[in-house]
Amino acid sequence: MTKKEEKKFEHFLEEFKTLVTKKGFKNTVQKDCILKVLYFSKEHLSAEEITKKVQKEFDMDIGIATVYRSLNFFEQMNVIESLDVGDGTKRFEFKVEQHHDHMICTNCHKIIEFSDDFIELNQIKVAEKNGFILEDHIMTIYGLCEDCQ
């Protein structure tokens, strides 16, 4: 990670802690470490993987229950998203500024992120056609990746 990325994370963390305090919640070092792991991860991590990474990277004794509670809290605070890849394990990613969708291989569970302006525009049209105002959406395409075909 670069100094610029580290600085961006520190700025995010400072703002997040202020928001958490204003809402009357408690922030902890464990939560900070979990957020950092998610923020810099290029993968969609399970709670177990997050636990191991926090233990290893921060030399911290943290239990899986603490990680699950923190992940639920972060989802409620709208800073992470969960993803069901169909293998019985919920995966998590930091909520990025630019929206993206996912393609998931039903054989090897590979996750491919993609963005498509045409799909985004058509979702808005479909919502309007049905009297909806689109606020958010999650699109997941399941199929076989190129390697598993």
Can you say which residues are annotated as belonging to the binding site for Fe cation? 99, 101, 120, 137
User: Which SS3 state, helix, strand or coil, does residue 111 take?
Assistant: strand
Q: Annotated binding site, which residues?
A: 99, 101, 105, 108, 120, 137, 145, 148
From residue 149, alpha-carbon distances to 70, 103, 106, 109, 113 in Å are 38, 14, 11, 13, 19
CA distance 111 to 39: 17
Furthest-apart CA atoms within the chain: distance in Å: 53
Q: Annotated binding site for Zn(2+), which residues?
A: 105, 108, 145, 148
DSSP-derived pairing of the beta strands 111-114 and 80-84: unpaired
**First CA to last CA distance, the chain:** 35
Q: How many other C-beta atoms lie within 10 A of the C-beta of residue 43?
A: 12
